[in-house]
Copies of this chain bind each other. A is one copy, B any other.
Amino acid sequence: MAEMEWKTAVAGQIGAETVIRGYPLTELIGSVSFAEAIFLVLKGETPTEREKKLLEATLVAVIEHGIAPPSIVAARMVLSGGNSINSAVAAGALTLGDFHGGAIEMLAKILQESLTPDVDNVRSLAKRIVHEFKEKNQRVPGFGHKLYKRDPRALKLIQIARDLGFKGKYIDFALAIQDELEADSKGKPLPLNVDGVTAAIMSEMGIHWRNGTGLFIIGRIPGVVAHVVEEKMREKPFRRLPEGSHKYDGKPIRHLTEKK
């Protein structure tokens, strides 16, 4: 029966051995770093030395960004209602949607599907992509930042990728899109942001765009855990919105008896 079959190529038993993508788990423990194991689990192969370094840097870049984002507020609210650590962390993961890390997967899809081996001019390709989005009246995901003209995390990651000797065709492509967007934005900066650069970098490492959101979740969850544990150890339960920060603006008072 088709539905009975639960098949996986990620991990399982071969004889008495638990293997991950073919490698015995006990052999991996102590031999590879956590980031290397993440690469193996997602891509199916261990990374090269420079892929390892670039992935470590990328995961560090997204690990934490303060208490203000909706994912942290949602996670702390769940804890505050009197729930378990894992429930609260799950609420953090639930929040990481289209507007909260989702640009990684969306841009990685564009980069990987457009930049076929035969393309040799990323600039004209970038022009086409920007034009297509403009036609559809949509924003290209992965560009723009509230505070920065250039996102320092993105600049740092690009520098690391260059120093490690990556070819950088996806990075060049992403930067060409940035240039096209800014040529059309009347002086408004639309920098490749940390989501956008993550999309380019995972493409450089040959990680399929479908892993974009997952990569961001993996990177961000430690930060969520730290916040949730802090909420548990430092705050009183049951956070409500404070008086004065919210209001009812619906129907004025009325009564069931007024209806005939």
**Nearest CB of chain B from residue A33's CB, rounded to whole Å:** 5
Question: Is the Cβ of A213 less than 8 Å from the Cβ of B86?
Answer: yes
Interface stretch among A107-115, A122-130, A182-190, A230-238? A230-238
- Complex CA gap A250/B18 in Å reads 12
Question: Is the Cβ of A248 less than 8 Å from the Cβ of B19?
Answer: yes
Question: Is the Cβ of B29 less than 8 Å from the Cβ of A153?
Answer: yes
Partner of A70, one of B6, B7, B56, B238: B238
The 23 listed contacts between A and B (C-beta, < 8 Å) are A2-B236, A5-B245, A6-B73, A7-B246, A8-B227, A10-B223, A19-B253, A21-B251, A41-B222, A41-B226, A44-B250, A67-B248, A70-B77, A70-B81, A73-B74, A78-B97, A81-B94, A81-B99, A85-B214, A87-B97, A90-B94, A214-B228, A218-B221
A interface residue numbers (CB < 8 A to B): 1-14, 17-35, 37-38, 41-42, 44, 46, 53, 55-57, 59-61, 63-71, 73-74, 77-78, 80-91, 93-100, 102, 105, 152-153, 156-157, 160, 208, 210-211, 213-215, 217-219, 221-223, 225-230, 232-234, 236-256, 259
